[in-house]
């Protein structure tokens, strides 16, 4: 747990993530447009993302995807932005960080159509009922604070059963703070609580899971 990926969800936050990465050796950046902001998406967004992706501290495109839980952007515009960012990831040779909420069928369908051969990270993994499918596709599953919530039994089974080479942990700061810090703003250091919990689910030591997930992150993000 020595590195951080600061995630962009639009131009300002993506540029901010790159600035953080320039200022701190342990920080890397992902750049993208969140589906909630897809109504204003144009080709100009691909232009600034492409320019940022040339920066050596940028390690992924995203977070991008589909979110039907909120009505901030029309589904057709989300789909257009999503497919464009998948194409960009293929063009620049970077992995994809995926946001999906209440949109599992469409998200997985688009990935199956457009993202074959790309490294795909399902950020804040929330599709335990599709575990076999996403594992068969080789997607990396990144577990955040919800896996520690008492009622998240399906998610806990997924964290226990996912093959080790496809497992990562994250915080999704400042949201989804894990137990025992739940109810407070989240911060990157809290990933230790999630890692400890998942290690218990898998019956391994914290040190062993730290080594595994750190190696997976290094492979995925190329550092």
Q: What is the pLDDT of residues 14-47, one digit of tens each?
A: 999 999 999 999 999 999 999 999 999 999 999 9
With a cut of 90, say whether residue 1 has pLDDT above it: no
> What pTM, to 2 d.p., does this model score?
0.96
Range 179-208 average pLDDT: 97
Q: What is the pLDDT of residues 119-155, one digit of tens each?
A: 999 999 999 999 999 999 999 999 999 999 999 999 9
Architecture of domain 1-112: Alpha-Beta Barrel (3.20)
Domain boundaries, the chain: 1-112, 124-223
CATH for 124-223 is 3.20.20.140
Q: Do domains 1-112 and 124-223 have the same CATH topology?
A: yes
* 210-218 own/partner pairs: CB under 8 Å, 24+ apart: 210/1, 212/164, 212/167, 213/167, 213/168, 213/169, 214/1, 214/2, 214/3, 216/140, 216/164, 216/165, 216/166, 216/167, 216/168, 217/3, 217/5, 217/168
């Amino acid at each position: 747990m020595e590195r951080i990926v600061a995630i962009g969800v639009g131009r300002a936050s993506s540029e901010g993530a790159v600035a953080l990465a320039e200022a701190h050796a342990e920080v890397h950046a992902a750049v993208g447009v969140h589906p909630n902001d897809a109504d204003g998406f144009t080709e100009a967004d691909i232009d600034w993302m492409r320019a940022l992706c040339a920066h050596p501290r940028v390690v992924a495109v995203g977070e991008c995807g589909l979110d039907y839980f909120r009505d901030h952007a029309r589904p057709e515009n989300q789909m257009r932005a999503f497919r464009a960012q998948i194409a960009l990831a293929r063009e620049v040779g970077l992995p994809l960080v995926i946001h999906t909420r209440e949109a599992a069928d469409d998200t997985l369908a688009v990935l199956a159509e457009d993202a074959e051969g790309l490294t795909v990270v399902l950020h804040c993994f929330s599709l335990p009922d599709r575990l076999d499918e996403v594992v068969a596709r080789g997607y990396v599953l990144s577990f955040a604070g919800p896996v520690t919530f008492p009622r998240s039994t399906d998610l806990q089974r997924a964290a226990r059963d996912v093959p080790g080479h496809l497992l990562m942990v994250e915080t999704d700061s400042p949201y989804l703070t894990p137990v025992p810090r739940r109810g407070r703003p989240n911060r990157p250091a809290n990933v230790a609580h999630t890692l400890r919990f998942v290690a218990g689910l898998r019956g391994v030591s914290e040190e062993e899971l730290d080594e595994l997930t750190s190696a997976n992150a290094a492979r995925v993000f190329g550092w």
